[in-house]
Amino acid sequence: MRLQSRGIEVLPLSSREIDLAKPEATEKLKNLVRDRDSLVIVSALTPDKGKDVATLVRNLSMVQNVAAFLEETQCAHVVYISSDAVYADDANPVRETSCCDPSSFHGLMHLVRERVLAAAVQKQGTPLMILRPTAIYGAADTHNSYGPNRFLRTALKNREIKLFGMGEEKRDHLCIKDLSEITLLSLERRSQGVLNVATGESVSFFDLAEMIKALCGNETRIEGSPRANPVTHRHFEISALYKGFPEFRFTMLADGLTESFAIMKRSLVG
Amino acid sequence: MIGFAGLSHLGVVSAIATAAKGFEVLAYDGDASLCESLNRGQISFFEPELEKLLKVNQSRIRFVADAAALTQCDVIYFSRDVATDDQGRSNLSPLTDLIERVVPSAAMGATLVILSQVPPGFTRRLAKKVGQSFADRQLQVCYQVETLIFGRAVERALYPERFIIGAADGRRALPRAFTELLAAFTCPILTMRYESAELAKISINMCLVSSVSVANTMAELCERIGADWSEIVPALKLDKRIGPHAYLSPGLGIAGGNLERDLATVVALANEFGADDGVVDSWISNSRYRRDWVLQQMHQQVLSRIQNPLIAIWGLAYKQDTDSTRNSPALFLIEALKPFRIQAYDPSVKLDRVSAANLRQTESALDACAGADVLAIMTPWKEFSDISLDDIKVSMKGRSIIDPYGTLNGDACIEAEFSYFKLGSGDCE
Burial of A234 (0-12, 13-18, 19+ CB in 10 A): buried
Residues B106 and B72 sit within 8 Å (Cβ to Cβ): no
Q: Are strands A128-133 and A77-81 parallel, antiparallel or unpaired?
A: parallel
pLDDT in tens, B111-121: 999 999 999 99
Q: What is the pLDDT of residue A143?
A: 79
The nearest CA of chain A is from the CA of B336 a distance in Å of 5
Are both B136 and B33 inside the same structural domain? yes
Band of residue B87 on the pLDDT scale cut at 50, 70, 90? confident
Question: Which residues on chain A are in Cβ contact (under 8 Å) with B289?
Answer: 95, 237, 239
Are both B158 and B28 inside the same structural domain? yes
Domain that holds residue B230: 202-288
Mean pLDDT of B405-410: 95
> Looking at beta carbons, which pairs linking A83-92 to residues 24 or more positions away fall under 8 Å?
A83/A107, A83/A110, A83/A132, A83/A133, A84/A132, A84/A133, A84/A134, A84/A135, A84/A196, A84/A198, A84/A234, A84/A236, A85/A110, A86/A110, A86/A111, A86/A114, A86/A132, A87/A132, A89/A232, A90/A232, A92/A233, A92/A234, A92/A235
Count contacts between A and B (CB, < 8 Å): 31
How many domains is chain B partitioned into structurally? 3
Question: Which residues on chain B are in Cβ contact (under 8 Å) with A254?
Answer: none
Return the residue of B nearest to A247 by Cα.
B339
Residues of chain B with pLDDT > 70: what percent? 99
Within-domain flag for B102: yes
Partner-chain contact B295 A243, CB within 8 Å: yes
Q: Which helix (H) or strand (E) holds A130?
A: strand A128-133
Domains of chain A: 1-133 (3.40.50.720)
Pick from B304, B335, B337: which is nearest to A249 by CB? B304
Give me chain B's average pLDDT, please: 94
Pick from B292, B300, B338: which is nearest to A246 by CB? B338
What Cα–Cα distance (Å) separates residue B283 from each residue in B73, B196, B241?
Answer: 42, 23, 21
pLDDT in tens, A217-237: 889 999 999 988 889 999 999
* β-bridge partners, A87: A100
Mean pLDDT of B163-178: 95
State the CATH number of the domain containing residue B231: 1.10.1040.10
Within-domain flag for B64: yes
Pick from B285, B289, B299: which is nearest to A242 by CB? B299
Partner-chain contact B339 A243, CB within 8 Å: no
Band of residue B428 on the pLDDT scale cut at 50, 70, 90? low
Partner-chain contact A243 B336, CB within 8 Å: yes
* β-bridge partners, A227: none
Query: How far apart are alpha carbons B60 and A89 in whole angstroms?
Result: 65
What Cα–Cα distance (Å) separates residue B141 from each residue in B124, B134, B169, B297?
Answer: 8, 12, 11, 51
Q: Is the pLDDT of residue A7 over 90?
A: no
Query: How far apart are alpha carbons B351 and B13 in whole angstroms?
Result: 25
Least confident range from A56-60, A81-85, A88-92, B27-31: namely: A88-92
Are both B186 and B259 inside the same structural domain? no
Q: Which of B195, B224, B242 is the last residue of a domain?
A: B195
Query: How far apart are alpha carbons B337 and B354 in whole angstroms?
Result: 15
Q: What is the pLDDT of residue A217?
A: 87
Question: Which residues on chain A are in Cβ contact (under 8 Å) with B309?
Answer: none
Q: Is the pLDDT of residue B221 over 90?
A: yes
Are both B404 and B327 inside the same structural domain? yes
pLDDT in tens, B34-48: 999 999 999 999 999
Residues A114 and A82 sit within 8 Å (Cβ to Cβ): yes
Query: How far apart are alpha carbons B179 and B19 in whole angstroms?
Result: 16
Within-domain flag for B38: yes
Are both B101 and B243 inside the same structural domain? no
Partner-chain contact B304 A250, CB within 8 Å: yes
Which of A239, A248, A251 to mutate: most B Cβ within 10 Å?
A239
Residues B376 and B314 sit within 8 Å (Cβ to Cβ): yes
Give me chain A's average pLDDT, please: 94
Residues B7 and B31 sit within 8 Å (Cβ to Cβ): yes
Which of A247, A252, A255 to mutate: most B Cβ within 10 Å?
A247
Query: How far apart are alpha carbons A115 and A194 in whole angstroms?
Result: 11
Return the residue of A nearest to B292 by Cα.
A239
pLDDT in tens, B255-285: 888 899 999 999 999 999 999 999 999 999 9
Report chain A's C-alpha Rg in angstroms. Answer: 19
Partner-chain contact B337 A246, CB within 8 Å: yes
Within-domain flag for B62: yes
Within-domain flag for B337: yes
Residues B143 and B198 sit within 8 Å (Cβ to Cβ): yes
Q: What is the pLDDT of residue B181?
A: 97
Are both B189 and B40 inside the same structural domain? yes
pLDDT in tens, B314-358: 999 999 998 889 889 999 999 999 899 999 999 999 887 666 678
Q: Is the pLDDT of residue B29 over 80?
A: yes
Q: Which of B257, B288, B319 is the last residue of a domain?
A: B288
Q: What is the pLDDT of residue B429?
A: 54
pLDDT in tens, B93-106: 999 999 999 999 99
Q: Which residues of A touch B (CB under 8 A)?
A: 95, 97, 200, 237-239, 242-243, 246-247, 249-250
Return the residue of B nearest to A251 by Cα.
B304
Rounded to 5°, the CA angle B227-B233-B235 comes to: 100
Are both B178 and B36 inside the same structural domain? yes
Mean pLDDT of B220-243: 95
Q: What is the pLDDT of residue A50?
A: 87
The nearest CA of chain A is from the CA of B339 a distance in Å of 7
Partner-chain contact A246 B339, CB within 8 Å: yes
Are both B188 and B216 inside the same structural domain? no
Return the residue of B nearest to A252 by Cα.
B304
Pick from B285, B289, B336: which is nearest to A242 by CB? B336
Partner-chain contact B289 A247, CB within 8 Å: no
Are both B172 and B270 inside the same structural domain? no
Partner-chain contact A239 B340, CB within 8 Å: no
Are both B11 and B47 inside the same structural domain? yes
Within-domain flag for B426: no
pLDDT in tens, B359-385: 999 999 999 999 999 999 999 999 999
Within-domain flag for B427: no
Are both B182 and B41 inside the same structural domain? yes
Mean pLDDT of B185-198: 97
Are both B329 and B216 inside the same structural domain? no
State which amino acid sits at residue A241: L
The nearest CA of chain A is from the CA of B243 a distance in Å of 31
Query: How far apart are alpha carbons B164 and B127 in whole angstroms?
Result: 18
Question: Which residues on chain A are in Cβ contact (under 8 Å) with B296?
Answer: 200, 237-239, 242
Within-domain flag for B429: no
Query: How far apart are alpha carbons A246 and A232 in whole angstroms?
Result: 30
Which of A242, A251, A255 to mutate: most B Cβ within 10 Å?
A242
Partner-chain contact A246 B340, CB within 8 Å: yes
The nearest CA of chain A is from the CA of B276 a distance in Å of 18
Query: How far apart are alpha carbons B47 and B56 in whole angstroms?
Result: 16
Scanning A98-252, the segments in alpha helix (DSSP H) are 105-122, 148-158, 176-189, 205-216, 239-244
Partner-chain contact A239 B295, CB within 8 Å: yes
Q: Which of B288, B303, B335 is the last residue of a domain?
A: B288
Which of B223, B288, B293, B304 to mutate: most A Cβ within 10 Å?
B304
Pick from B285, B292, B339: which is nearest to A247 by CB? B339
- Pairwise pLDDT comparison (B218 vs A8), residue with the higher score: B218
Return the residue of B nearest to A244 by Cα.
B336
State the CATH number of the domain containing residue B375: 3.40.50.720
Residues 6+ apart with CB under 8 A from B224: B426
Q: Is the pLDDT of residue A203 over 60?
A: yes
Q: What is the pLDDT of residue A114?
A: 98
Burial of A162 (0-12, 13-18, 19+ CB in 10 A): middle
Mapped onto helix, strand or coil, the DSSP state of residue A198 is coil
Which three-class secondary structure string do you get for chain B? CEEEECCCHHHHHHHHHHHHCCCCEEEECCCHHHHHHHHCCCCCCCCCCHHHHHHHHHHHEEEECCHHHHHHCCEEEECCCCCECCCCCECCHHHHHHHHHHHHHCCCCCEEEECCCCCCCHHHHHHHHHHHHCHHHCCEEEEECCCCCCCCHHHHHHCCCCEEEEECCCCCCCCHHHHHHHHCCCCCEEEEEHHHHHHHHHHHHHHHHHHHHHHHHHHHHHHHHCCEHHHHHHHHHCCCCCCCCCCCCCCCCCCCCHHHHHHHHHHHHHHHHCCCCHHHHHHHHHHHHHHCHHHHHHHHHHHCCCCCCEEEEECCCCCCCCCCCCCCHHHHHHHHCCCCEEEEECCCCCCCHHHCCCEEECCCHHHHHCCCCEEEECCCCHHHHCCCHHHHHHHCCCCEEECCCCCCCHHHHHHCCCEEECCCECCCC
